[in-house]
Chain A
Amino acid sequence: MAYSDKVVDHFNNPRNMGSFKKDEEGVGTGMVGAPECGDVMKLQIKVQNDTIVDAKFKTFGCGSAIASSSLATEWLKGKTIEEAQKIKNTDIVQELNLPPVKIHCSVLAEDAIKAALADYQKKADGTATDAK
């Protein structure tokens, strides 16, 4: 199967690969997938004043899974929480030109974004409650 140039580019030069400390303030972590299925994505966001100021990923999976999560971190940076919620897997499919058999990689990336946002929200709510 031939990969699109964009997939190859993200695979060879992954953007924002790495990790934040999970307990760092403003950090939300999403981990989706399973090793048995052949792909696991960890996506992290760092939020300040409702805006995602930084994002990082680590992915176990095929080239398209790596590219999908790399692209997701690129898109997340600078977005508000609300804007980030709107990223759809179909946007990733279109941008990376993913073939049908690789659509699940984009679904996983969307799930990872949602999970990271939810984790951030949960932590933020928790902090708010503590403050009371």
Chain B
Amino acid sequence: MKLPIFLDNHSTTPMDPRVLETMLPYFVEKFGNAASRNHAFGWAAEEAVENARKQIAKLIKADPKEIVFTSGATESDNLAIKGVLEMYGEKGNHIITSSTEHRAVLDTVKVLEGKGKATVTCLPVDKFGMVSPEDVRNAITEKTILISVMLANNEIGTINPVKEIGKIAKEKGILFHCDATQGVGKIPVDVQEMGIDLMSFTAHKLYGPKGVGALYVRKKNPRVRIVAQMDGGGHERGMRSGTLPVPLIVGFGKACELCEQEMAQDTARLLAMRERLETSIMKALEESYLNGHPTNRLPGNLNISFAYVEGESLLMGMKDIALSSGSACTSATLEPSYVLRALGVGTELAHSSIRFGLGRFNTDDEIDYTIKKVIEIVTKLREMSPLYEMAKEGVDLKSVQWAAH
């Protein structure tokens, strides 16, 4: 076993070596511009891009023509939301979204709202982090033009009832955008069955390269139109200008193909490893709490709060394991995770959370090592924690008058 161990597969995934192999010829030998229509270099590049488009479309049950390449999921989210608002602004300007969305969605709608271009309803989630389809229905007004709800959450892994939301959107004739960055390649996605009109996803979360993503844009029933957010050569059917990064796209395609072929076996492995990680830790450590949905969750996700110890110190005590925490100290904003807060997790438990993100290349040995380390460090830091000491003495921590700072 090699250290450090990578257990942060929600942030990014290592690229599959098979993906790299497919990409290599497209840097030096087959370097053509896919938009060059008049020579063999361009044709080779175009063929490679179209092949990748097919591989990607197949994974999400779409038509290849419905795939628009972008630089990643953040751009896809921006393009979808701003592009729809600009195209359908005459019909209305109301957008419905949820409080646990990724910042790429939340910040985008916030900016639009701030500029007076949109009114936004941000739906709450239940204690497992799930959006209620009924809440979506009730939030719809005459002015609603877009519903944007994520497929699976990046912190807690909870999977939303997307199919039900898609059905409501269809029934009301409102476009449905889904940020599926964490879900595509991990769980089955079918844009038809789920009633999705626009969907964002990216290559580097599914063992592909960084720097390329896609926006699925439905072509019929209904035909969705968006206004491009960048002016230029009119690539990607006028929706996203810019020379296509052929090697990245080739890698994205291969990565999708592998996910499609290996999803069943990947899922089975991940579930077994996660199950062991979860039960071993929870059994050994009292007052550890699972965040997110107990079952309806991404196979590689495990998010646990360890009462009385702070997340950043946990990470520091496990330097040879790459993990992430909802603690304020690990965020740029110095606020604990807004996702956990939206679930109703107390601030102190949000500070104490650790996200384990398992992926294709993790091994049983790595999980064993992690279990051992987590138990060790939580025990050690609890010994060091005045809160744990007080709790053991029977002090109700909520009754204490803290000198906040």
Contacts and interface: CB of A to CB of B under 8 A. Distances in A.
For the residues of A in contact with B, the DSSP-based class is: mixed
B316 A38 contact: no
A34 B386 contact: no
B336 interface: yes
Contacts of A58: 384-386, 389
A11 B381 CA distance: 10
B362 to A, nearest CB: 25
A65 to B, nearest CB: 8
A42 B397 CA distance: 14
Interface string B366-386: 000000000000000001111
Contacts of B317: 11
B402 A38 contact: no
Contact of B348 (A36, A41, A63): A36
Nearest to B346: A36
Interface string B240-283: 00000000000000000000000000000000000000000000
- Of A31, A33, A38, A58, which is in contact with the most chain B CB atoms at under 10 Å from its CB? A38
B313 A11 contact: yes
Size band of the B side of the interface? 20 to 34
Interface in A20-35: 31-35
Interface string A33-72: 1111111111000000000000000111111011000000
Contacts of A111: 403, 405
A36 B386 contact: no
A3 B347 CA distance: 25
Interface residues of A, number: 31
Contacts of A107: 405
Interface of B: 308-310, 312-313, 316-317, 327-329, 334, 336, 346-348, 351, 383-389, 397, 402-405
Given A35-B397, A104-B405, 19 more contacts: A3-B316, A14-B384, A32-B405, A34-B402, A34-B404, A36-B347, A36-B351, A38-B336, A38-B351, A39-B310, A42-B386, A58-B384, A59-B385, A60-B388, A61-B310, A62-B327, A62-B329, A65-B310, A66-B313
Interface of A: 3, 8, 11, 14, 17, 19, 31-42, 58-63, 65-66, 101, 104, 107-108, 111
List the 8 shortest-distance A-B pairs measured between CB atoms, nearest first.
A34-B402, A42-B386, A35-B348, A62-B312, A58-B386, A63-B316, A38-B351, A36-B347
11 contacts: A32-B403, A38-B328, A39-B310, A40-B385, A41-B386, A42-B389, A63-B313, A66-B384, A104-B405, A108-B405, A111-B403
